[in-house]
Structure 1
Amino acid sequence: MLGWLFPRRATQWLGPLFAAGAGALLLAVIVVTTGIVDLSAAKPHPEGWARFLHYVFERSTAFHADAKPPADLDTPLRIAAGAAYYGQVCARCHGGPGFGQNPVVLSMHPRPQYLVSDLPVAGFTAPELFRIVKAGVKYSAMPAWPAERRDDEIWHLVAFLRAMPRMSPDTFRRLAVVDPGNGAATIPFGPPPALHRYGLRNDNEPPVGDYGYKTPVYGMAGYATGSNVIATCARCHGADGAGGGAFPNLTLQRRDYLAATLTAYAAGRRRSGYMQMIATELSPAQIAALADYYSALPRRSSATPATVPGIGQQVALSGLPSVGVAPCASCHGITRAASRAYPLLEGQAAWYLANQMRVFRSGGRGSIVGDKPDDPMVAIAKRLTDAQIDAVAAYYAAQPPARVQSFAAVGGR
């Protein structure tokens, strides 16, 4: 009997193994084709299976969490920047201080965790939180970060997640919640615009034919169709448009540059998990109106008119010929910047400018299909040290806002 069950020769195992495999395959085909498996979201996973899946998720996260947090991770500036995104997107599933989770979300399986409680966040290190936000989680509703190589934005959100369990409801509302009734002007969506192709990070993911990668999109919050666009912009850029230090000061830019930038975000030519989500919802009429609105606001800057001597001034005005870095002013000077759609840097916040230089260095800006496929800023940023980046950012932040000119004023395209 034992000899029959456990043959001594290896070849004698082939028949039983083949029969067992064929039987298992036949059973799988019957289960799949009959539809007997209940995939209804109305029924939760069995507790043992749910615990197993969560354990696999935790081990996978720990294994792949190798990102190094920035030195300024838990600073108020990063926390405020992360709050802007959390309030727009994440809070709709995970709640917030003073707010619970809605019943639609709680009908999902697995249910999104209530992140206001300290336990879900405290159970993960900063690199693990980064991994979850960046990569998402398969077989759940947790998506991956929508913009490639924008690790800076992900760290903003990680900083906020770490701070939120200790945050009061009033602080959460101030940082993350937009009040549509704050007196902001409205911008109508306008007549139905023509749909345009939108470039995604996963364009070739099957089944391609089932998805409409077109913009404008019907967004998560409906702010564009509801005409409360400026109130949404104020979440990051402030009611005065000055940006608060973590985001660009829109009052210092030209109308042409603002419109071109929003259009690039809407087309997927410029990457940002924050701005691509916003811009894809806007109609062309709203993009034009926003450019008009912010370019007409009083210019606001905390810059102290002064010259900051040293390496920052040298990089800005003379460059670093020894490492192949041209002067910043050769492109960002007033006249040339207007004609070539480069941004004005004078008076922008130093932290924001330095962060954007590091984004160029990591490939999060530039070198993308579409306009400027070989952006020189990528190579320039890679040739500068952190100290040089911080110095040139401080130099431009200390300068008074540049005089604004339009394309037409300088004969640009």
Structure 2
Amino acid sequence: MKLPPDSGRGAWEWALVQAASATARIRRLLTWKNITALLILATAGALAVSWLGLVSIAASSGHFAITRWFLGWTMENAVETQSMLAKMPKTIDLDDPTLVQRAAGHFATGCAGCHGAPGIPQSPVVNAMTPSPPRLEGKVAQWDNAELFWIVKYGLKYTGMPAWPAQDRDDEVWAQVAFLRALPAMAPEEYADIALGGGSGLAEVDLEAGGLGAASLNGIVEEALVDCARCHGLDGLGRGAGKAESAFPVIAGQPEAYLHATLLAFAQGRRDSGFMEPPATRYEADVLRRLARHYGKRPAITVS
């Protein structure tokens, strides 16, 4: 290799010759054959690593910081873009207490188990997930209404965040968004009242009148009745007071056969509701029948 001239025009000519020579060498390397060979080798290497089971899939190992950042960045961009078509109906008011009350029970049974709730910490089991579900009180403000709607309705792959069980019930999804908007300012006492049934116990209602006296109760039926009471009340008159008093329909005094058929329709997926399908599916047909009997025998309010 010749040494470059000390200075002047000769040095520039030498530099140009060397650059041209390097470019020619690169071109010889970057032929289609070489590129194809490199791609085949890279693909084969990746398949070999996967086949040998060398990829770390353990939740306990977490993600590298760069991986965590990239996945979060990709998710945020995807939600921002794909939520552009989500439009809140003009009839929806996210400050409406009725919507907040309507979605509270579902949050308690479908969301709080992972995300926690006011006065309720997250489980160490949940915190051992990768990625671990965040507490939502400090997160909902990071998303606009359309983005929250999109996340609640469609869920997030590879995170454990499910889609809404009834994809054609946007009204329920907007109610859940209303609850999430109210969540950051919600005190534990308020949450317990609207989401957990207000702490009311079975002893506060005459169960004999509903055919569910102490002798007929077992643990499953009692659990199911408390589950129903989160929204419908133990008396079947619907929970909610003031502006939220119309959050739930009155089911007390409805025909037992109708109530039983309705619960079965939710349980068997013949009637869509993200609020009603999960609790109805949790219990066997006999339990649903006993719930229908209880609420069917409850006295309905008579308007004079």
Q: What TM-score bracket applies, with the shorter chain setting the length?
A: 0.7 to 0.9
Which residue of 2 is the match for residue 158 of structure 1? 177
Q: Secondary structure at the match of 1:228?
A: helix
Which residue of 1 is the match for residue 252 of structure 2? 251
Q: 1:134 aligns with which of 153, 156, 159?
A: 153
Q: Distance in 1 between matches of 2:181 and 2:170?
A: 17
1:252 Cα shift? 4.3
AA paired with 1:107?
A: A
Q: Deviations over 1:280-315 (max 9, x none)?
A: 1221211111111111001126x5x6xxxxxxxxxx
Q: Sort the Cα spacing of 1:262 and 1:224 in 2 relative to 1 into closer, same or farther, 3 A.
A: farther
Q: Secondary structure at the match of 1:251?
A: coil
Which residue of 2 is the match for residue 237 of structure 1? 232
Which residue of 2 is the match for residue 271 of structure 1? 272
Runs of 5+ unmatched residues, structure 2? 1-21, 240-245
Which residue of 1 is the match for residue 187 of structure 2? 168
Q: Distance in 1 between matches of 2:108 and 2:267?
A: 21
1:17 Cα shift? 1.5
Q: Distance in 2 between matches of 1:79 and 1:109?
A: 30
Question: Does residue 103 in structure 1 map to residue 104 in structure 2?
Answer: no
AA paired with 2:299?
A: P
Q: Sort the Cα spacing of 1:6 and 1:48 in 2 relative to 1 into closer, same or farther, 3 A.
A: same
Which residue of 1 is the match for residue 135 of structure 2? 114
Q: Sort the Cα spacing of 1:231 and 1:290 in 2 relative to 1 into closer, same or farther, 3 A.
A: same
Moved over 6 A (4+): none
Which residue of 2 is the match for residue 292 of structure 1? 293
Which residue of 2 is the match for residue 79 of structure 1? 100
Q: Answer 1 or 2: higher relative contact order, Cα 8 Å, separation at least 6.
A: 2
1:226 Cα shift? 6.4
Q: Deviations over 1:166-202 (max 9, x none)?
A: 01110011011244844265699x9xxxxxxxxxxxx
Q: Distance in 1 between matches of 2:221 and 2:53?
A: 42
Q: Deviations over 1:257-276 (max 9, x none)?
A: 10111111111101111111
Cα contact 2:94–2:181 (8 A) shared by 1: no
Q: Distance in 2 between matches of 1:250 and 1:274?
A: 16
1:224 Cα shift? 7.4
AA paired with 1:162?
A: R
1:243 Cα shift? 2.2
Which residue of 1 is the match for residue 32 of structure 2? 14
Q: Distance in 1 between matches of 2:160 and 2:51?
A: 26
Q: How does 1:334-413 map to 2 (within 5 A)?
A: none
Q: Distance in 1 between matches of 2:54 and 2:47?
A: 11
Q: Distance in 2 between matches of 1:133 and 1:48?
A: 27
Cα contact 1:95–1:116 (8 A) shared by 2: no
Task: Give the structure-2-normalised TM-score.
Answer: 0.81
AA paired with 1:122?
A: A
Runs of 5+ unmatched residues, structure 1? 191-222, 306-413
Which residue of 1 is the match for residue 26 of structure 2? 5
For the pair shown, which has the larger CA radius of gyration, 1 or 2?
Answer: 2
Q: Sort the Cα spacing of 1:187 and 1:6 in 2 relative to 1 into closer, same or farther, 3 A.
A: farther
Which residue of 2 is the match for residue 39 of structure 1? 57
AA paired with 1:13?
A: T
Q: Secondary structure at the match of 2:148?
A: helix
1:25 Cα shift? 1.1
1:105 Cα shift? 0.4
Q: Secondary structure at the match of 1:142?
A: coil
Which residue of 1 is the match for residue 168 of structure 2? 149
Q: Secondary structure at the match of 1:165?
A: helix
Q: Sort the Cα spacing of 1:182 and 1:5 in 2 relative to 1 into closer, same or farther, 3 A.
A: same
Indicate the percent of aligned positions where both proteins have the same amino acid: 37
Q: Distance in 2 between matches of 1:29 and 1:135?
A: 31
Cα contact 1:78–1:160 (8 A) shared by 2: yes
AA paired with 1:225?
A: I
Q: Distance in 2 between matches of 1:174 and 1:180?
A: 9
Question: Does residue 24 in structure 1 map to residue 24 in structure 2?
Answer: no
Which residue of 2 is the match for residue 211 of structure 1? none
Q: Distance in 2 between matches of 1:180 and 1:272?
A: 25
Which residue of 2 is the match for residue 202 of structure 1? none
1:116 Cα shift? 2.3
Greater shift, 58-67 or 120-129, is seen at: 58-67
Cα contact 2:253–2:297 (8 A) shared by 1: no
Cα contact 1:224–1:282 (8 A) shared by 2: no
Which residue of 2 is the match for residue 204 of structure 1? none
AA paired with 2:58?
A: S
Q: 1:228 aligns with which of 214, 220, 223?
A: 223
CA RMSD of the aligned region, Å? 2.3
Q: Distance in 1 between matches of 2:31 and 2:157?
A: 37
Cα contact 2:238–2:250 (8 A) shared by 1: yes
Which residue of 2 is the match for residue 67 of structure 1? 86
Cα contact 1:180–1:228 (8 A) shared by 2: no
